[in-house]
Amino acid sequence: MNSFTEQLLGIVSSFKGTFHGAYNLRENGTCAGRKSSANVVISDLEDKSGISIRVKPGTKNETVYIPACVTESGLRDSVTNLFYIGENADVTIIAGCGVHADGHETTAHSGTHRFFIEKNAHVEYIEKHVGTGDADSKEINTKTEFSLAENASVTMESEQIRGVNRANRVTSATLADHAVYLVHERLLTDGSDSLDTAFEVILNGEDSKADIVSRSVARGHSSQRYSSRIVGNSRCTGHSECDAILAENGSVDATPCLSAKNTDAALIHEAAIGKIAGEQITKLCTFGLTGKEAEEKIIEGFLK
């Protein structure tokens, strides 16, 4: 791998020279390294660019790394990854993406991830997106789909903190009986960045549950658009929360939507958009911080 890829991997997947567990490294549109394990089999898709990841039933305490990096300016990479998680499995999947570009051409990665999660299985899904380099046309677009069988669960940690100029993030989930879907999203845009993030959750199963929490900061002249739709088709609980901070001339549009189609569906949404309170800045400045340092501390704490 080249030095830019190695730097990006350190950011998006905590890479320190090697991966401990099954992995597939995608670099500039091709496989740059792969390793399966006794319980996780990774193979190429036959009909399109991408891989399948099959986790055997009963697998415990395994981590699978599937980072993708684009460091060739002007390259538009596109990939589809399919995940088959067996019954009673418990696995962590780290799927970071990094784009580095210094030229004037658009450099982009687009990824589609589809999860088929069987009964009683749990997936911790971690994705970090980052852009580096001087170019102002770095894009990362993702489409992530989860299908959760009875009593399955997903915990999703999603982060896009810097350097991505254009992003379109679409996430959907369909839940069966007693399935649980939990999301914590953290986003930061700056300059003239543009970001769209959308969630749709279909609660088909009895006593299924979804909880989506998105926190974002829009700085500079950047713009963000957030939307969520939770559909309750049974006795279920659903919650969507969008909290955003505006700094300088940033803008945020938030559109939460609920659709209850069962009298026992309990659905809630919250949305709050505001600026950093002046008294917070003043208080931190009394401890010796500059105004800029105080703002950075507040944003850092907000995005934790």
At residue 162 the predicted structure's pLDDT band, cuts being 50, 70 and 90, is confident
pLDDT in tens, 34-49: 999 999 999 999 989 9
User: Is residue 191 assigned to a domain?
Assistant: yes
By C-alpha distance, which of 176, 108, 113, 160 is closest to 136? Answer: 108
Q: Provide CB contacts within 8 A for 106, sequence distance 6+.
A: 74, 76, 137, 138, 139
Domain span at 244: 165-304
Rounded Cα distance between 35 and 66, Å, is 10
Same domain, 10 and 92: yes
Helix (H) or strand (E) holding 281: helix 278-285
Same domain, 99 and 190: no
Residues 167-188 have a mean pLDDT of 97
Predicted pLDDT at 2: 81
Rounded Cα distance between 213 and 185, Å, is 6
pLDDT in tens, 55-68: 999 999 999 999 99
Predicted pLDDT at 29: 94
Predicted pLDDT at 189: 96
End residue of a domain, out of 111, 128, 145:
128
pLDDT in tens, 95-140: 999 999 988 889 999 999 999 999 999 999 999 999 999 888 999 9
Same domain, 216 and 93: no
Same domain, 181 and 295: yes
Same domain, 109 and 208: no
Same domain, 22 and 113: yes
Angle (CA) 134-137-139 rounded to 5° is: 115
Same domain, 104 and 211: no
User: Is residue 144 assigned to a domain?
Assistant: no
pTM: 0.93
Maximum CA extent, the chain: 62
User: Is residue 294 assigned to a domain?
Assistant: yes
Same domain, 38 and 107: yes
By CB neighbour count within 10 A (0-12 exposed, 13-18 middle, 19+ buried), where does 228 fall?
A: buried
Residue 184: other Cβ atoms inside 10 A: 15
Number of domains in the chain: 2
Same domain, 112 and 195: no
Type of residue numbered 92: T
By CB neighbour count within 10 A (0-12 exposed, 13-18 middle, 19+ buried), where does 263 fall?
A: exposed
pLDDT in tens, 194-203: 999 999 999 9
Over 80: is that where the pLDDT of 280 sits?
Answer: no
Residues 161-182 have a mean pLDDT of 96
User: Is residue 218 assigned to a domain?
Assistant: yes
Same domain, 175 and 274: yes
Rounded Cα distance between 298 and 125, Å, is 27
Over 90: is that where the pLDDT of 254 sits?
Answer: yes
